[in-house]
Amino acid sequence: MTSAAEAVNPVGPVELVEHAPAVRKALPGPVGRALAAADIVDATPDPYAPGHWSLRAGSKVGAMAVTVPGGGEPVTVRVTPKVPIVRLFFLLGYSLDPKGSWRDGDVDVAEHRDLLPALAHAVERQVDRALRQGLLQGYRATEETALVVRGRLQEAEQIRRRFGATLPVEVAYDEFTTDIAENRILRTAVERLLRLPGVPRDVRRRLLHQRARLAAVTAIVRGQPLPDWRPSRLNARYHHSLHLARAVIDGISAEHKPGGLRIDGFLFDMNKLFEDFVTVALREAFPGTGSGHTARLQDPHHLDEAAVIRMKPDFVLYGPDGTPCAVADAKYKAEKRGGYPDADLYQMLAYCTALGLREGHLLYAKGNAPHAAHEVRHAGILIHQHALDLDQEPAGLLTEIEEVALRLVNTPRI
């Protein structure tokens, strides 16, 4: 029997803001439990108001639809980022393709102020530009069972499957087709955007047009790995659309079906987005220094001599001789009102100690505290905390990154 709490009908979509105070909302019990179990938002039942839930968004932003079996229309949950949409798209685009037009903030998000409508619009425009000259064609390795010999006869497969029979035959050949990795990725991104809540009607109509253009292309089944593609002169007009399509596919949450419940949505993790942007921007800052340094992202090291305790700093800079000469870590959100979390300092101290460095650098999204530096007692290690202002023009943000990069080059060793 359905309880009174589960019989509550939600009134309109649930609107939340990233890292904002919790809000109380009437929700069916299965929906609230699904949100909590899927780690989409912090969701707890309100002990003082039956049928209501306390909802608080963390660092995941986007939109999702929760469908309860027999419960009517899906419940839509939208989480708005604190960073302006145009700035978020710069962070995303630059981390995906720092050499592209993202450097100048030329990201087409039109007039849309919400993340999902802006993303759907940007993807549709990029796909349209990629396909204006027609679908890209290429060779695809194909293996099939046929009644005529085409390409190469697979003798081992013929013997194993056919036991000496002459027909049908197992063949392998290279087919010149539009059903190649690049087009399959675009088709998959378009398909998944069409299933999401909150895509404006005019954008949905244009996405349907793009799907029709890609009708002969096979979409990638959910759960299957994406096919590989390599940037080249031949597929240059696809590059921007492929980078953005990959972000869409990676951001689509997996279907959750606990007890027949279904959750479909698109989520960006702002922690990862900020980390990707900072590390890529730092790496891009070094070719201009002429110092001969090499940057590596998420490079594995060990804290202990026995090589048991693994650690993976976000960014490690190596000198011309291959020795680590600087370390940096990106932290999107400060967790305490009084300043940056102490745990970040302990983590950076471990990095500096294991890598033999006298200085370490923590990069935060500006909000809680200005730049600070802490000298560790009895260790002679200085830990810098830098605050990056994300709500500024791209040129200014990249200048801040370059200033941090100059500090990294001059980091002394123990």
Residue carrying structure tokens 């009437």: 26
pLDDT in tens, 313-339: 999 999 888 899 999 999 987 555 556
Q: What is the mean pLDDT of the chain?
A: 82
Task: Check residue 186 and give left, alpha or beta (phi > 0: left; psi -120 to 50: alpha).
Answer: alpha
Q: How confident is the model at residue 311 (pLDDT cuts 50, 70, 90)?
A: very high
pLDDT in tens, 167-180: 665 656 566 689 88
| Residue predicted with more confidence, 10 or 182 | 182
pLDDT at 111: 63
Between the alpha carbon of residue 355 and those of residues 313, 328, 351, the distances in Å are: 10, 12, 6
Q: How confident is the model at residue 9 (pLDDT cuts 50, 70, 90)?
A: very low
Q: How confident is the model at residue 267 (pLDDT cuts 50, 70, 90)?
A: confident
Average pLDDT over residues 7-20: 72
pLDDT at 242: 92
Instruction: Give yes or no for residue 107 having a pLDDT over 60.
Output: no
pLDDT at 129: 92
pLDDT at 202: 92
Instruction: Give yes or no for residue 147 having a pLDDT over 70.
Output: no
Task: State the CB neighbour count (10 A cutoff) for residue 181.
Answer: 18
Instruction: Give yes or no for residue 254 having a pLDDT over 50.
Output: no
The pTM of this model reads 0.81
pLDDT in tens, 286-310: 865 556 788 999 999 999 999 999 9
What own/partner pairs with CB < 8 Å and gap ≥ 24 does 248-256 have? 248/119, 248/123, 248/189, 248/192, 248/193, 249/185, 249/188, 249/189, 249/192, 249/220, 251/62, 252/192, 252/196, 253/38, 253/40, 253/64, 254/222, 254/223, 255/222, 256/34, 256/37, 256/38
- The percentage of residues in the chain with a pLDDT greater than 90, rounded to a whole number, is 40
Q: Quickly count helices (H) and strands (E) in the chain.
A: 10, 18
The Cα 325–Cα 352 span in angstroms is: 10
